[in-house]
Structures are given as C-alpha cells and as structure tokens.
Amino acid sequence: MEDIQEQHWISRWLQGLIDRLPAACPFIAAQILLLVGATIGSRSLPEAEACPVACAFVIGSFLTFGAVIILSFFAFFRPLQWLMRSPMIQQFQMLVMHRYMAMQPPPYVYISDGGLLEVLGILPLLRRRLDRIVVSDAAEDPQLSMRCLRDAISYCRREGLCSFYDPRDPCRDMEFVLQSFKESDAAFLHLGIRYEARAGDAPQPHGELFYVRMRLLPGDNAPTRYLLTEGELLRPPSPNGRAAARPPRGWELRRDLSGVCFRGCECGGLCVGRRFPDFGVGNQFLTPLHFANLCSLGAELSEPLVHAMRADSARP
C-alpha cells in the first residue's frame, strides 16, 4: 500500500488504465460497431444496400454488449474474472444487487458502507460475539420506524446469531420495546443480546447493544444555533436539547429549520418539505448551519449514553 502511495500520479493512472483496458475492449468494439452501423444507415445509399448492412452492425453491437453483460455473471470462473475489472460491469451488478462469490477475490474490492445489505453495520460485530456494541442510526426515517434496527434483528434471526431483549423486562416482546422507545424521551435504547450457543462454546454468552437514533426528543424547544465555536465545543451540551426558556421573538426554533440552502428561500417558514433533523434525501450537501445543528443534536443525544457507560465502567 505504501509503495502505491509513493508512486507518481501518472504511474498510478497508467497502471489503472492498463488494468482496465482488457475489460474495456468489448465495450469499445460494441461502440465501434454501433457507430459504423449508424454511419452506414445515414449515408445516401439505396435502402436495399444500406439497411441490411447497417442492421447487421447494430445487431452485432447489441449482441456484443449483451454477451459481455451475461458473461459477467459467470466471472467466478477464472477465465472470465478479468471482466470484473470493468467499472461499468461493477455498477450494473450493483444495480441488480448481484453478489460476486468465488474461491478467489475479485481484482478490485471497493470498501463502502452497509448500504444495500445492512445499514447499521452491526452484523460483523455480532458475528464476533462482542460484549458491548454502540451504534448510531442517522438513516432516513422521519416516521421513526427504526427500520434499520429491525432489519438487523431480522438478519440476526435468519443467520441464527443471537436474540435481543429488554434488560429491564426480558419477557417483553421486542415490538413493544421499540414502540415504547419511539414514544419516550430517552436519548438511547439499551438492549440485551443473547448469543446462540455454538459447538464447543461455553454457556450462551450475553452482550449489550446501545442504540442512538437521530431524532428530536419530545418537548424540544432549542433555538437554531449558529456556527460551531471553540468555546461551545469545550462546554457540555444542553440536557436533552431543551432550552432553559423559550427563545426571544425573532429567534427560530431548530425544529422548524428546513433543508434549503439559503435562509431567504424559507419564505418566512412557509417553505414546504421536511424539517430538522429529517431533511429530504435530495439535500446531499449540508450547509454550515445544518452541520452545526446536527453536531449539537448528536452531542445532546450521546451525552447520557457516555455518562451511563462511564458510570458502569467505574463499578467494581
């Protein structure tokens, strides 16, 4: 890895070009056939001469492209593994949610978030049977259905990894536990983990899961804060995001903050759309004002969890 980083950018670019050139050749050939067919078809030749030739080139282009796409699903065979060097093929397989599985890894491995599989990323931690797991959930969920956590629980049940329960009342159904958290003013959700026994293991081990969900707690009346400052970062956040008193007239509550880029576009609060912190997915670029308020909310939600874990660690 260090040798690659020390290479000149031209050397790295040439190396990437040479690696991907074999997989690009079929697509280049298909494009050339399509271009030749379109050129012949547009020439001023009698229809009896031009049309069959143009159709042959166009059909050949489509057949070449289709053959490459179909063969890419059999790239686990070593003679076809070079097809996985093509970014176009990788994007297509990602689109159809195809998982590449082979005895040997593909030429390129892209590291990303859970995305299409498991958003929270706790499955690998549960497979390692960790004692304590802390997870934050900032996925799009304006209705607070906690779908990401529900999906993770479903995956664990499917793989036979573990079961989740409420440590305060282990007999209570998980659906009621999640519903109670949605209606409460708790900053985080504490769940117990009971790992399934494996051959040769000791009695079933237990663990803990601390789940922090990005949301405004009931009764939140904090004003819209401005950009982060060093002094505020050094002070503890306000408890549970609640202001000591209602902000003066002219100040805007953060729960009314919309996702527009400029304050003038809010039309005096009449602008339609989701409000803080559940901005629409179209807002992919946070403004400094949005970032500051999200950071402040994250500190407020995580502070009780930090204190609880610190107190638990201090116990003998």
- Domain residue extents for the chain: 14-96, 122-213, 230-314
Angle at 313 (CA atoms; ends 310, 315), nearest 5 degrees: 115
Orientation angle between helical segments 174-183 and 147-159, nearest 10 degrees: 160
Q: 301 with 214: CB under 8 angstroms?
A: yes
Q: 61 with 122: CB under 8 angstroms?
A: no
What type of residue is 288? Answer: P
Q: 66 with 30: CB under 8 angstroms?
A: no
The pair of three-digit structure tokens given for residue 246, joined into one six-digit string: 């209602």
For 8-39, give one letter per residue: b (16+ CB within 10 A) or e. Answer: eeeeeeeeeeeebeebeebbeebeebbebbee
The pair of three-digit structure tokens given for residue 149, joined into one six-digit string: 């956590």
What's residue 248's pLDDT?
43
What's residue 242's pLDDT?
47
What's residue 247's pLDDT?
46
Residues of the chain with pLDDT under 70: 1-8, 43-50, 112-116, 200-204, 237-251, 260-273, 281-284, 314-316
For residue 113, the SS3 value is coil
